């Protein structure tokens, strides 16, 4: 139920109904079966959402997206063995807008298709540019939203890029969230198998946060599980987190999957993960997401150290 109050919220029926309606949409967004009183903040938020929606539609044409690259480290050698491409939106007035804010909006508004396709092609282009500049082959992982697997547009575009040589197959990797990977059962498995056959690697992102069916997981052609940051956070002291993380590591070993831990921020977390057999590490302890040039400098520096 949405509630507006006379005379504070308006003096005529139209205005009061409008505001009650705004309050109603907030009550619905809170999960329904509840009520909200209208506040002016609701109008401000709605106006902001409409503007963001409009801007998001134009962001691609205006070249406002960038990819940053977070290094992925091998736990034993502590060397860079990959990168994750993370999208950034530089809004002309708002400045940096987090993907946590605009990716869900893009998904809800049906805009994730072209944005996701841009991210994939841009990561391919960057990978080629780095190889041309003499960097060793660093596989780049791109995040894929479940909505991109609902029809064949994304997979067909990816196949085209690979066929046209715009993307090296052994250099590409896709990340799909655990809940996304479990959506639409057989169809998703079928599509993931096609990606795999194209030479792309596959990871399950945010692992531990969804409801995986183990038989489903076992049938998926995946290479890696990425342990969600929320479980890494409490390591090594939190007994529940430690139990969950070691259980995931044991299960992955039995299923012959590699494991990446996300959000590793401290040495103590790293030591725990390494001691329990985690293969790869990603997090602020080793490196934040970097602009392409900074990433290249880091990779170069590492190579120089090794030489």
**Residues at the interface with ligand C2E (CB under 6 A):** 70, 86-87, 98-100, 103, 116, 119, 143-145, 175, 205-206, 229, 262-265, 282-284, 289
Q: Work out whether 205 is an interface residue with Mg ion (CB under 5 A).
A: yes
What part of residues 248-307 is at the interface with Mg ion (CB under 5 A)? 262
Closer residue to ligand C2E, CB minimum distance, 103 or 182 = 103
Contact, 22 vs 46, CB < 8 A? yes
CA angle, corner 223, sides to 218 and 229, nearest 5?
A: 95
Contact, 287 vs 298, CB < 8 A? yes
Give the list of residues 6+ apart from residue 51 with CB closer than 8 angstroms, or none. Answer: none
Q: Which stretch binds Mg ion (CB under 5 A): 14-22, 38-46, 97-105, 170-178?
A: 170-178
Contact, 230 vs 206, CB < 8 A? no
For residue 48, is it left (φ>0), alpha (ψ between -120 and 50) or beta?
alpha
H or E element, residue 203: strand 201-207
Binder of residue 241, out of Mg ion, ligand C2E, none (CB less than 5 to 8 A by kind) = none
Binder of residue 119, out of Mg ion, ligand C2E, none (CB less than 5 to 8 A by kind) = ligand C2E
Query: Strand locations in 36-171, DSSP E?
Result: 36-37, 65-74, 80-91, 95-97, 140-144
Q: Which stretch binds Mg ion (CB under 5 A): 54-62, 107-115, 169-177, 282-290?
A: 169-177
Please give the structure tokens belonging to residue 83: 């990168």
Minimum CB–partner distance for residue 115 and ligand C2E (Å): 7
- Picking from 192, 261, 183, the residue whose alpha carbon sits closest to that of residue 225 is 261
Q: Work out whether 55 is an interface residue with Mg ion (CB under 5 A).
A: no
Closer residue to ligand C2E, CB minimum distance, 52 or 103 = 103
Q: Work out whether 206 is an interface residue with Mg ion (CB under 5 A).
A: yes
* x-marked contacts with Mg ion along 125-154 as a string, rule CB under 5 A: ------------------x-----------
Contact residues: Mg ion, CB under 5 A: 143, 175, 205-206, 262
């Amino acid at each position: 139920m949405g509630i507006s109050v006379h005379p504070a919220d308006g003096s005529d029926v139209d205005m009061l109904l409008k505001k009650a309606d705004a309050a109603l949409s907030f009550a619905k967004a809170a999960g329904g079966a509840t009520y909200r009183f209208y506040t002016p903040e609701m109008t401000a938020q709605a106006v902001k959402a409409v503007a963001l929606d409009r801007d998001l539609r134009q962001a691609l044409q205006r070249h406002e997206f960038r990819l940053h690259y977070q290094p992925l480290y091998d736990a034993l050698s502590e060397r860079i063995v990959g990168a994750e491409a993370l999208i950034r939106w530089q809004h002309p007035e708002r400045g940096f807008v987090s993907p946590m804010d605009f990716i869900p909006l893009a998904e809800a508004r049906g805009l994730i298709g072209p944005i996701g396709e841009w991210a994939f092609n841009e990561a391919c282009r960057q990978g080629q540019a780095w190889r041309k500049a003499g960097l060793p082959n660093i596989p780049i992982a791109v995040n894929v939203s479940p909505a991109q697997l609902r029809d064949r547009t994304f997979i067909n575009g990816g196949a085209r890029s690979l066929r046209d040589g715009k993307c090296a197959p052994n250099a590409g990797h896709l990340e799909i969230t655990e809940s996304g990977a479990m959506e639409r059962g057989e169809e998703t498995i079928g599509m993931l198998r096609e990606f795999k056959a194209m030479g792309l690697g596959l990871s399950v992102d945010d692992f531990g946060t969804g409801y995986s069916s183990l038989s489903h997981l076992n049938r998926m052609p995946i290479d890696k599980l990425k342990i969600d940051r929320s479980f890494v956070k409490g390591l090594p002291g939190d007994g529940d987190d430690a139990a969950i993380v070691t259980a995931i590591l044991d299960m992955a070993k039995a299923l012959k999957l590699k494991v990446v831990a996300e959000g590793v921020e401290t040495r103590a977390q790293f030591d725990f993960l390494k001691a329990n057999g985690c293969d790869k590490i990603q997090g602020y302890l080793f490196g934040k997401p970097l602009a392409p040039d900074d990433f290249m400098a880091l990779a170069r520096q590492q190579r120089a150290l090794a030489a």
